[in-house]
A = this chain, B = another copy of it.
Amino acid sequence: MNQEIENAIQDEYPDDFSHCYGCGRLNIKGHQFRTGWDGAQTITVYMPRPEHTAIPGYVYGGLIASLIDCHGTGSASLALHRKNGNEPGDGAEPPRFVTASLEVKFVKPTPQDVPLKAFGKVEEIHPKKFKIHTEVYAGEICCAKGEVVAALMPDTFGK
């Protein structure tokens, strides 16, 4: 676990929903992104692997898009969980979200060998839909900005 989040929402998902390549704690080949609160913002921290290059020395954009994606659904889950009176770590099962849409603007080349930090602001746009505004930093540099629309996972999803 290369991430500094104490209480991550993904730690609370039921096992059946913990196989996501991006943020599933049971997907041992995946990124295992973990998302928690950082004051009024949400945060996900990830150290890219050596193979996650665009060109040598710079991080692959698809990895950044993946980070923004799972950070978005995790942030939506954190926000609705809090609205429902819960916090990760209290034992209540959090709601899960799916990504409806994802937008990424690549602002600057992202240096490798630095942990990436995604910071999110969550906006409720519907009782079952949240928009997450994310900025990804490598050190002091804002390298990418993203928007995710996350929708509450339908009970029928995957059935």
* Tally of chain A residues near chain B (CB < 8 A): 38
Whether a CB of chain B sits under 8 angstroms from the CB of A66 is yes
- Chain A residues 25-69 with CB under 8 Å of chain B are 27, 29-30, 51-58, 60-63, 65-66, 69
Q: For the complex formed by this chain, how many copies does it contain in all?
A: 2
A102 and B101 form a contact (CB under 8 A)? no
A56 and B106 form a contact (CB under 8 A)? no
Who on chain B is nearest to A73 by CB? B61
Q: How far is the CB of A137 from chain B (nearest CB, A)?
A: 18
Mask of A99-133 contacts with B, CB within 8 angstroms, 1/0:
11111111001000000000000000000000000
Q: How far is the CB of A112 from chain B (nearest CB, A)?
A: 11
Q: Given A102-B103, A103-B103, are A51 and B21 neighbors across the interface (CB < 8 Å)?
A: yes
Alpha-carbon gap, A106 to B157, bound state (A): 13
Q: How far is the CB of A61 from chain B (nearest CB, A)?
A: 5
Alpha-carbon gap, A57 to B159, bound state (A): 10
A30 and B55 form a contact (CB under 8 A)? no
Question: Which of B62, B100, B158 is the one whose CB lies under 8 Å from A70?
Answer: B62
Question: Which of B21, B52, B100 is the one whose CB lies under 8 Å from A105?
Answer: B100
A21 proximity list for chain B (CB < 8 A): 51-54, 60, 62-63
Q: What is the interface of chain A, defined by CB distance below 8 A to chain B?
A: 16-17, 19-22, 24, 27, 29-30, 51-58, 60-63, 65-66, 69-70, 98-106, 109, 157-158
